Structure 1
């Protein structure tokens, strides 16, 4: 009788902990990107920035257009390793702009207003990107046309990290819930075996 009551008490306690912890863990927007607690739900921005891609035998380039900058991600084509020591120049419709490397964010960016204004026009743009490194010189060709949707703000590039943080938080929440359920089931099974053994 004592073992049965102890079994009920243990299972009940674990389920109570589960019910108390799960809402706090699974609540949307429970934590911010730096781990701070938030009082309200956070709506993740799912709109992707307008972009274009191009590659050659040496390099591959992904560019994202924001309202105040063009972000350029340059990688070696063979190894997919980022290139941090290149000179990048973009030309379109007679306009040229030099990219500046952002060592903190590990990408290149162009902030030339005239070129950004050109790329934000909803028409076909032919682009030439000149890439110079200590070992290679290359020309990358691309076409780009802005859709009718609005160009995302520059801050939304950083908000993607916040969105990823919330995705991982939800995965951790469900994992914690499954662990607690497994503990509850396992304790019930163990006490059941103990009770059966004492009857023999």
Structure 2
């Protein structure tokens, strides 16, 4: 089986994992928020640890969502210059951005991992629920690392195939052939 097929299978598997984290996190966040609101308004009490759980779910959703957004090319992008380019220059800029973004996310994931390991060694827990802090933040280096992998895959896809791909899975939708008389750069 060619390497590309393995990458596709691995990518799909990681995507399923991210989807489960995102869907589960959103559902859990909604459940905690709704339960806490109902308890507060109907019984005059609150759910113990609701703010801690909300914070943890938001962290997990954010950093699992980072990799998912890069995979689907749904991340924030400033494209004023990029949109003006065509052809090989446009593709080269996309590869440069992808490689730079991957390098930055690999760098940040390294330091996030160091932080998570230090909180693990320190044995810190949350105040109300005594959840280990390292478990709450474990998704940060993982999400950054997976985002870096997605940017790397985007660069690889653009270097190894024809056309322009905004991500490993998503082909550029805005490719246009220049009109008559317009330069092809």
Same-fold status (TM-score > 0.5): no
TM-score (norm 1): 0.30
- Give the strand-richer structure, 1 or 2: 1
Q: Which has the higher helix share?
A: 2
If you compute each CA radius of gyration, which structure gives the higher value, 1 or 2? 1
